[in-house]
Amino acid sequence: MKEKILISTGGSGGHVMPALTIHDHLKNRYDIKFSTDLRGLKYLSSNDHKIYVIDTPKFDKIIFVPISIIKTFFLTLKSLILLKRENIKILISTGGYMSLPLCLAAKVIRLKIFLIEPNMIIGRANKFFLNFSNKIICYDKNILGFPDEFKNKIVISNPFISKNYYQSSSEIKNDQLFTIMIIGGSQGASIFDELIHETILKISKFIQLKIIHQTSKKNLNFLKKFYSDNKIENLVFNFDQNLNLLLNKSNLCITRGGASSLAEIAHLHIPFVVIPLPNSKDNHQLENANYYKNKDCCWIINQIDFDKKKFGKLLISIIKNKDEFIKKRNNLKNLNYQNTWNNVNQNLLDIINEN
């Protein structure tokens, strides 16, 4: 009989996507179950996975802290019952406050606890759980804010990205049109939906472009009409599970600084411009972007002092300066040289099985 693992994940794609990838790596050896909050249910299918809901409250408003503490106490009891009843042997947490009751319960009954930290600065929840954990799996050893006394718990993995990305081609695109993919997220982002398309229009007057643009539902029709009216070849969409196929048609990507998104783009050797979310917790999106910038793989734009003219000049320079573009592409290729599905799979199994 397979040992049982519970993967605890949260309500954002940045938490759930790595969790799904870890499931795919471990499913042949272990019986995998998921725990998430109510927000995370939209990313998980009950037809494909066994899912338990532990809807941990936030502690972000002082007035509600006593209520949150009481609710968390009862959720910890619920987690204890769940872990014992299902005979869970290993807990894997992809981060976030929603894992608090499960990590507490797992510590009480002395389960193995593995944390996942995809960002270049340690998350607050993971920092709190370090004392409980056996190991924390990171993508780099130089994680900002990581306490020295727990650095012996760090184990390194290549990023957890979907198997689809390993099956996608990363060859140089030969399309006559330079194709720019804009990933604003399915919820959209104002700077991606309200400013970038204006710059694209100006550039398209003298450089033929093709645009692939992910946006929010409310801006979908507007952007489709905008690009079409201005005779810019385009594909505008809200959500696509096969994002790897669309990325593979792109020469350049403009994106936020989520760890999973950057790892996916980097794996396909697509140079990218990062506009980090300025109010991300602990500025982790900027630190994620800096990891790639320091390896000369990308460009970074500060949203707070975003200037359309400067941004336009940067895009023109990227398109026309082939040497710089190819250098960044080659740097991405070198960075991902040993990043194969089998290597990640074996490394993860070794980490989980280590005594």
Express each pLDDT in 222-249 by its tens digit: 999 999 999 999 999 987 778 899 999 9
Express each pLDDT in 70-103 by its tens digit: 888 888 999 999 999 999 999 999 987 788 889 9
The string of DSSP letters for 117-143 reads: E-SSB--HHHHHHTTT-SEEEES-S--
Topology (CATH level 3) of domain 4-158+339-353: Rossmann fold (3.40.50)
What does DSSP assign to residue 43? G
The single residue listed with the structure tokens 């290993």 is: 90
Q: For residue 117, give Cα distances in angstroms to 80, 125, 151, 208, 350.
A: 24, 10, 13, 40, 18
Topology (CATH level 3) of domain 165-335: Rossmann fold (3.40.50)
Please report, in tens digits, the pLDDT of each residue of the chain (355 residues total): 899 999 998 777 778 889 999 999 999 999 999 988 888 777 777 777 888 888 776 655 554 567 777 888 888 999 999 999 999 999 999 987 788 889 999 999 999 999 999 999 998 889 989 998 999 999 999 999 999 999 999 999 999 999 999 987 666 565 678 999 999 765 546 778 777 888 999 999 989 999 999 988 888 899 999 999 999 999 999 877 788 999 999 999 999 999 999 999 999 999 999 999 887 777 899 999 999 999 999 999 998 888 889 999 999 999 998 999 999 999 999 999 888 999 999 999 999 998 6
Calpha distance 226→201 (Å, rounded): 9
pTM: 0.90
Residue span(s) of the chain under CATH 3.40.50.2000 come to: 4-158+339-353, 165-335
CB 258 within 8 A of CB 279: no
The string of DSSP letters for 71-98 reads: HHHHHHHHHHHHHHHTTEEEEEE-SSGG
Calpha distance 322→319 (Å, rounded): 7
Is residue 204 classed exposed, middle or buried when 0-12, 13-18 and 19+ CB atoms within 10 A define those classes?
middle
CB 230 within 8 A of CB 201: yes
Q: Which backbone phi and psi does 259 adopt, to 5 degrees? A: -60, -45
Q: What are 8's strand-pairing partners?
A: 35, 93
263: nearest Cα among 21, 12, 10: 21
Express each pLDDT in 54-70 by its tens digit: 877 665 555 456 777 78
CA dihedral 274, 276, 277, 282 (to 10 degrees): 150
CB 117 within 8 A of CB 159: no
Q: For residue 123, give Cα distances in angstroms to 145, 195, 229, 280, 285.
A: 9, 31, 44, 11, 12
